[in-house]
A and B are shown apart, each in its own frame.
Chain A
Amino acid sequence: MAHFQKKRGKSTPGISTASLPDIIFMLLFFFMVVTVMREGERMVQVVTPQATQLEKLEKKSLVNTIYIGRPTQKYQAIYGTRPRVQLDDKFSNHLDADIALFLEQHKLRVNEQLWGQITTSIRADREVTMGIVTDVKTALRKANQLKINYSATPDAARLAQMN
């Protein structure tokens, strides 16, 4: 009891940073849970156009996505530079058959009663021409998938003009 340690120097005690990683890990887990990395690798470059009449897509599970754009750099050597359609993780060569199959595969994961609410999101690059988009729409109509959504980003300038 007589060996009290003398405090050496006048430095104030450092702030304990031991709890900082815990806070960061909490944020990290939050992000891991909230963001769903379900989509596979994007093989086409897509910059969606801008629009003002946008509606949010509810229920991601009832949405399947079709990508239309030019292949990315690493795929251009094999697939060329003309715009193509990507379904899941493959390019499509025969649109009608591939899209019908793609839609059926999605329906397998969805409760039958909700099939009528399934929406197909078309994410097409803004510079793509209407030929390929029309072919995709025709294939969707043949497969009786009539609810579609043209993916677009908000057009801030025009939205401000409207309001």
Chain B
Amino acid sequence: MAIDKKTAPEINAGSMADIAFLLLIFFLVTTTIDSDKGITVQLPPWSEEPPDPTKLATRNVFSVLVNANDQLLVRDEPTDINTLRERTKEFIINPQGREDLAASPTQAIISLKNDRGTTYEVYLEVYNELKAAYDELWEEESQKTFGVSYSDLTTDQKRTIRAKIPLVLSEAEPTSFGEED
């Protein structure tokens, strides 16, 4: 048999692809790209004095309470979470000028109080609805004033919208009636 000495036998490179696939799948599985999205919140600065509780009953305060059983109490009446967003918007804007709702958007305060036993999931859902109410109001105001979506505005324009409808959400110290984990 005439052996051809010029060309070396080719290494079958097909299995290298399998090794590389394995490495790739290993990397895809082990590196968790954690979702980096969330609800941004600005906490109030810390102060040693407890906040003044006497202002709660006025027309400009929208009190939201969540108890340890994850039940909602909005302005002293039990409420369903699905109606929270609309009620909050109605309170802030007060289209009909009702006496029991906010005098103006700049004077509207939302007061949120929960219990130490409240589930975080429910708390975040409530916070989400309150934030959504403001986001929708800012969006409507942005469309009315500038004609574009709120997310397309410049920082200064956003500031003017937020000055007209400021997000004032005060969180009270939680009560301790429920069982905390």
Report A's interface with B, CB cutoff 8 A: 3, 5, 16-18, 20-21, 24-25, 27-28, 31-32, 35, 37, 39, 48-49, 51-57, 60, 63, 82-83, 119, 121-134, 137-138, 140-142, 144-154, 162
Chain A nearest CB: distance from B136 CB in Å? Answer: 8
Whether A20 pairs with B17 at a CB distance below 8 angstroms is yes
CB-contacts of B18-51 with A (<8 A): 19-21, 23-24, 27-28, 30-31, 33-46
Chain B nearest CB: distance from A52 CB in Å? Answer: 6
Chain A residues lying within 8 Å of B128, measured Cβ to Cβ, are 51-53, 152
User: Is residue B76 within 8 Å, beta carbon to beta carbon, of the partner chain?
Assistant: no
Contact of A131 with B117 at beta-carbon distance under 8 Å, contacts A20-B13, A55-B39 already known: yes
Interface class of chain B by DSSP: mixed
Whether B38 pairs with A54 at a CB distance below 8 angstroms is yes
Contact of A146 with B45 at beta-carbon distance under 8 Å, contacts A20-B13, A28-B20 already known: yes
Number of contacting residues on B, CB 8 A? 52
Chain B nearest CB: distance from A23 CB in Å? Answer: 8
Report B's interface with A, CB cutoff 8 A: 2, 4, 12-14, 16-17, 19-21, 23-24, 27-28, 30-31, 33-46, 114-121, 123-125, 127-128, 131-132, 135, 173-174, 176, 178, 180-181
Contact of A49 with B41 at beta-carbon distance under 8 Å, contacts A28-B24, A63-B36, A131-B181 already known: no
Q: Which residue of A lies closest to B39 (CB)?
A: A150
